[in-house]
Amino acid sequence: MNGRHPTPPGLQCGTTIVEIMVTLAIGLFITLAVAVAYVASRTTATAVDSQSRMNEAGKQALDFLAREVQMAGFYPASVTDPVQPSLRGRYSNIKGQPAYQGGIFGCDNAPFLPSAGGCGAVVAGAPDSLVVNYFVPTSPRDVGVANASVGRDCLNQPLATDPDNAARAAAGLPLLLSNRFTATASGYDSAVGAVNVRVDTLALACNGNGVALPTDNYAQLYEGVAQLVFRYAVHDFSSGETPQRFFTATEVSAMPVMQERNGWQRVSGVSICVLMRSLVPSRTASQGAGGATYTDCSGNAVSPGANDRFFYQRFARVVAVRNQLTGLQ
């Protein structure tokens, strides 16, 4: 005898209710763990994607503005002065308005209004605006035969449409290109879970002079702008053409004329600052307010509020305005 009792005929062996409950509990625990891991990974992926898009838009916006500033005041060296053919051509104000006296012009906390040729109403904390002027050839001989962007503004509008360029286009002279930049309001609905959240932001926008009649309408290029600030390095000939500090647009406009040059014609550098904000409020609470502290375009350390789940990133660069330097030191 081994102590084992055979199962009586007609009876079946199975699990008890306790065993079933334990199995179900383990299964529910595993399912919950998988669900938590999935939600966490999805939240992390959304946050990473949101930051990546913000960083990409910020870098592209900064690069776009920097390339334009580098061209400010340019005039093709291959084209001679129509009045004095023995001399090289140079930048000139063909529109007769103060905003076009040099390669750079700007407005503090206000948009530039092309229809009026000046700055709009100032609103505290509003984005700055920047006007970049330069001349481009009427043919691709200086920039490559296959370059289809010759003679067009930032919105791909033909510069010859500008009445001030009509006569120059007919004579084969370089055309004035004037690109104006600011940040305009942009809104959209963002799905956060099962709830649609209204998000209001700004977008870097451009207005070009390739139109018959100037308008104050700006076309948006890059969304997610929280701040747009421009500052200007201006030399006073005291130490050659080396600037000593940066000024606001209002300060530059008030500067006196020196050696036949006003403040805007003596701008030798532009400080560009673009503060970007993510398009989706995907920052998790675990990152905390302190971990999300960022520096704004005024140099202030800012900690988002408890309900602010956006990411912020500051992009800044100083760009030299080489075409406005005389080379005399």
pLDDT tens-digit readout, 125-176 = 999 999 999 999 876 554 444 444 568 999 999 999 999 999 988 888 899 9
Query: DSSP character for 281?
Result: -
Q: Rounded distance, CA 114 to CA 91, Å?
A: 20
Residue in this structure with the two tokens 């375009």, named with its chain if needed: 297
Instruction: Catalogue the E-assigned strands of the chain.
Output: 104-107, 112-113, 118-119, 129-136, 175-192, 195-208, 219-234, 246-247, 267-277, 294-295, 301-302, 312-320
Q: What is the pLDDT along the chain (329 residues), one digit of tens a residue?
A: 455 556 565 555 667 887 788 888 888 888 887 777 766 666 666 677 788 889 999 999 999 999 999 999 998 877 766 655 555 667 888 999 999 999 999 999 999 999 999 999 999 999 999 999 999 987 655 444 444 456 899 999 999 999 999 998 888 889 999 999 999 998 877 655 545 667 789 999 999 999 999 999 999 999 999 999 999 999 888 777 788 889 999 999 999 999 889 999 999 999 999 999 998 887 776 555 445 789 999 999 998 887 888 889 999 999 999 887 765 44
pTM value is 0.81
